[in-house]
Structure 1
Amino acid sequence: MAGSSGKAFDFKLFKRLLAHTNKYRLTFYFVAFAAIAMSVLGVLTPHLLEAAIDKAIIPKDWDGLVFYISLMVIVLVAEVIFQFGFIFYANWLGQNVIRDIRVKLFNLMLSFKMKYFDKSAVGRLTTRAVNDIETIASIFSQGLFMIISDLLKMLVIAGVLLYKSWEMALIVFTILPFLLYATRVFQRAMKSAFEDVRNQVANLNSFVQERITGMKIVQVFAREETEYKAFKEINERHKKAWIKTVWYNSIFFPIAEMSSSIAIGLVVWYGGLNATQNGEITLGIVTAFIQYAQMLFRPLRQIADKFNTLQMGMVAANRVFKILDTRSHIADNGLIELNQTTGLIEFENVRFGYNEDEDVIKGISFIVPPGQTIALVGATGAGKSTIINLLSRFYEINSGDILIDNVSIRDYTLPSLR
């Protein structure tokens, strides 16, 4: 069964989720390629800007400037095309995956024992089948591929920075360990916060659904004020769960922004001094480094934001997979098709209880001959509806046997029995 993990990221759960993309492998590969292409194209723009400044603007070479501007336009157009393909097909992939999971989940729920629904709140199951599965789609549209693209972009930028000026690259890199540590702490905190959020959403949905469905009972027993107070408490817990995520975001993102500004300031200071003293660093390199530094820190901030999205999707996936791993079915091992029946029904010392340690039906035996009608009479909760449910095998009996035409109902196929 899928379980909750204390890890910031559950790779086993993630691998299981990715298995649902096998049907759409070509689309998956295209989206991954588009993400990589966007990261590479994004890195080219500052390099072309550097070349335009040093080789065209400062020497006042008009033809060279037109050439570099043309290259930048081509790169921009290519980036837009890949971005369009990425956005469309990433969302297309996500929607197809959750459609398959939702169909699989609903088909499984159709075969669950009635006992499972007796113990599971309808609102929670609705949340799993609708809200949680919809959240899983964001893993593909906003989380996974964008994180891959940003990580690759950061790796390429780091290599370019070292190539252009290792001194200024080291200035930028000195800020990274602090920001990486803050990101790691943020990820762990957000995982716990989002698990709480999903639980509170499920509690709220369950409470509202059950009270609206049973509104007649609420009003008959004059429980409006009691239920109103209970709703306010649940709603307050829901609000606090969300505020916790806002609190973590409000701490992390200003820290990330400040780190980026410090790195850019140090780059301008060192690079500017070197350029004014006719060193190896040019005005174009300083300009490119400013953009590269922003591009290096921005993905790190965005990765944290996208990790929020990915983490919410993973929490939702874990909850959905828990239901998919549930084994609560009536065994359909019968081989006999009940196409025609004489109508002979026998209960032989049948015992049954909704709870294992508490029998509701205690050794009941009776025979209903063909063509006869009998009445089951008793107070509410005496077991009248239970006997009909047992005859249709909506519940499994604890002991004894039920026969139709001298054949145990276990020997009939479920569809023909019902």
Structure 2
Amino acid sequence: MNTGRHILLIIGGGIAAYKTLDLIRRLRERGFTVTPVLTRAAEEFVTPLSVSALAGTKVYRDLFDLTDEAEMGHIQLSRSADLIVVAPATADLMAKMAQGLAGDLASTLLLATDTPVLIAPAMNVRMWSHPAAQRNIETLRTDGVSFVGPNDGDMACGEYGPGRMAEPLEIVDAVNLALGSGPLKGKRILVTSGPTHEPIDPVRYIANRSSGTQGTAIAKALVKLGAEVIFVTGPADAPRPAGAQVIEVQTAREMLEVATSALPVDVAICAAAVADWHIVGAKDRKLKKSKDGTPALEFGENPDILKTLSAPGEARPSLVVGFAAETNDVIENATAKRARKGCDWIVANDVSPETGIMGGTENAVTLITDAGAEPWPRLSKADTATRLAERVKEALLT
């Protein structure tokens, strides 16, 4: 496979530099051309010879290389690439980027370019959390620099926490995202996630225990495959998925309005745990206790988002996937729900309290399609999402 894409890889001076040898190999396996740049500090951890051998090209090291600079080589290096990747991005290198310093080849390349930049930070946990480093991080984000990691993990110094460089395959995924490539490039996918909050008064609401973790994981998995993801979420605890268009809502009616306005899409995945009812005549002032006893609440039925998106018509997505969170007769109830809603697939799971699935980190689902019920093993929610995303890919591309 030859992507025709060119990566300028700047290797900073940290112990994580050894991972860049595998990163170069992984990028080249996927058809990328990689031009490496080593900082002086990086040469203490990896050799120019090993980097050059894996990249299959010359390694650039010196700003004042007369042969290259006769044609302003540092300008050409930075502008001929489709993406600049900095891995590891040390605290020192990030500070230079944030302040616009240009005292060596790496920092000069980063200042003399309008090419997108992706960085993989790596440093001691205390350095990462230091106010000066956080100011630089915020500056870089504001400047449009993309980040992958850092991850939590054991440090070479013996400490544990955020600051460990992302793994090579994570960086490859981030490269594909930054370049807008992947098998689902050009496909537009709607994902709903999290609970909805149906107000009783300004301080109280009806909700459920959904954390939004599974929906976020699904959106992330689809983004990694190159899809354009519209992520509509209720007030969930889970972090929002990077690379997706995130739209936050509160109620089921708001979620329906946003979801239908996002059409047309190729796929709709309704992972949100939408409240079935809302309070009719929700109060605009806090309800108070009174001698008259408990106030009476009148319930009204919420709109059916999954059924609305599944309805026949020109705007119907080619694939509509619903979720069925059940506490009993899971397969029977989910199969009936699929027929009742008119969707193509149902992802059914048992959310009885003893399973720990609602609000937890794992899931055990059964995929229900025209072919019947297909039980999946209990997996992390991230792995469940990856498996579902792969099935979506197969459905769209075969």
TM > 0.5: no
Select the structure that is richer in helix. Answer: 1
Q: Could you state the TM-score of these two structures normalised by the residue count of structure 1?
A: 0.20
Q: Could you state the TM-score of these two structures normalised by the residue count of structure 2?
A: 0.20
